[in-house]
Copies of this chain bind each other. A is one copy, B any other.
Amino acid sequence: MADLIALDDARDERLRDYTDLRDVQLRTTVEQERGIYIAEGEKVIHRAVAAGHTPKSLLLAPRWLDNLSDVLEATDAPAYVLTEKAIEQVTGFHVHRGALAAMQRPQEREPREVLAAARRVLVAEDLVDHTNIGAIMRNAAALGFDAVLLSPRCADPLYRRSIKVAMGAVFSLPWARLDDWYGAPALLRELGFTTYAMTLADDAVSLEDVEPAERAAVIVGSEGPGLTEHWQREADHRVIIPMAAGIDSLNVAASTAIACWHFSRR
């Protein structure tokens, strides 16, 4: 059973994992350093626990004690109980769903492990935006992809905003970060994947004409510059989603949805 601790001072040192939640730069550093991530709202907390993650502590307004009683009963972590107003002082904003948990960040998985049994893999290069990372993971999960690989510069899937946009898919869908990004094409080839680089190059093959291999990795890049030269060169196939004249492009979440849809149905 969690230890319920009523606090009234927003500056209490025990609340340090919850301060300045709107400061993206600060939080991305702090959460990595302390080995935590923030689950926001009763639904996300439940999903995180169901995925086997462990709370380090919780921060709750009194009215959320009931809804989270199962989580509180199953943990030894402290649960700090504050008024909604005090929670706002701690976090720097009004927490609509007055419940937060500082979760212990699970050990990151190895690329080879998440790839072992996968048939359909989404590979993301340098998506630095948390919304985009959340959106592509939601899309990949919904369309039956088995795993996601991230380049070193991709945003953190366990950042609060990513989790929210992903609707919890970051808990259910296996993902790993590749330290050796340059070696990624070779690794995927070694493991038997055929690689498909999504590109805007007009000599690429149109998505509708792609007959996916048994094991397929779809690689998407950031919206502005697109995939690096290295990937454009190394991928087995370069694939384009043909677009109407005069339109810049689809955003990466939309093009990922379309690509995952095509690969999931073959």
A:209-259 near B, CB below 8 Å: 241, 243-244, 246-251, 253-255, 257-258
A:128-154 near B, CB below 8 Å: 135, 138-139, 141-144
A247 to B169: give the CA distance in the assembly, Å.
8
Q: Does A167 contact B (CB under 8 A)?
A: yes
Return A43 CB to nearest CB of chain B, in Å.
Answer: 10
A257 to B258: give the CA distance in the assembly, Å.
6
A151 to B13: give the CA distance in the assembly, Å.
51
User: Count of A residues near B, CB < 8 Å?
Assistant: 27
A contact residues vs B (CB 8 Å cutoff): 135, 138-139, 141-144, 167, 169, 172, 208, 241, 243-244, 246-251, 253-255, 257-258, 261, 265
Q: Which residues of B contact A139 (CB under 8 A)?
A: 250, 254
Q: Which residues of B contact A244 (CB under 8 A)?
A: 141-144
Cβ of A250 and Cβ of B243 under 8 Å apart?
no
Return A120 CB to nearest CB of chain B, in Å.
Answer: 10
A254 to B247: give the CA distance in the assembly, Å.
18
Return A212 CB to nearest CB of chain B, in Å.
Answer: 14
Q: A141-B244, A244-B144 are in contact. Are A254 and B257 (CB under 8 A)?
A: yes
Cβ of A172 and Cβ of B246 under 8 Å apart?
yes
With a 10 A CB-CB cut-off, give which of A142, A172, A251, A265 has the most chain B CB atoms.
A142
A29 to B205: give the CA distance in the assembly, Å.
47
Which partner residue on chain B sits nearest A253 by CB separation?
B254
Which partner residue on chain B sits nearest A248 by CB separation?
B167
Q: A208-B265, A265-B208 are in contact. Are A142 and B247 (CB under 8 A)?
A: yes
Which partner residue on chain B sits nearest A247 by CB separation?
B142
A30 to B90: give the CA distance in the assembly, Å.
35
Tell me which of B138, B208, B255, B265 contacts A250 (CB under 8 A). B138
Return A239 CB to nearest CB of chain B, in Å.
Answer: 13
A248 to B142: give the CA distance in the assembly, Å.
8
Q: Which residues of B contact A138 (CB under 8 A)?
A: 247, 250-251, 254
A249 to B169: give the CA distance in the assembly, Å.
11
Q: Which residues of B contact A135 (CB under 8 A)?
A: 251, 254
Cβ of A143 and Cβ of B208 under 8 Å apart?
no
Q: Which residues of B contact A167 (CB under 8 A)?
A: 247-248
A254 to B139: give the CA distance in the assembly, Å.
7
A258 to B256: give the CA distance in the assembly, Å.
10
Q: Which residues of B contact A248 (CB under 8 A)?
A: 142, 167
Q: Which residues of B contact A265 (CB under 8 A)?
A: 208
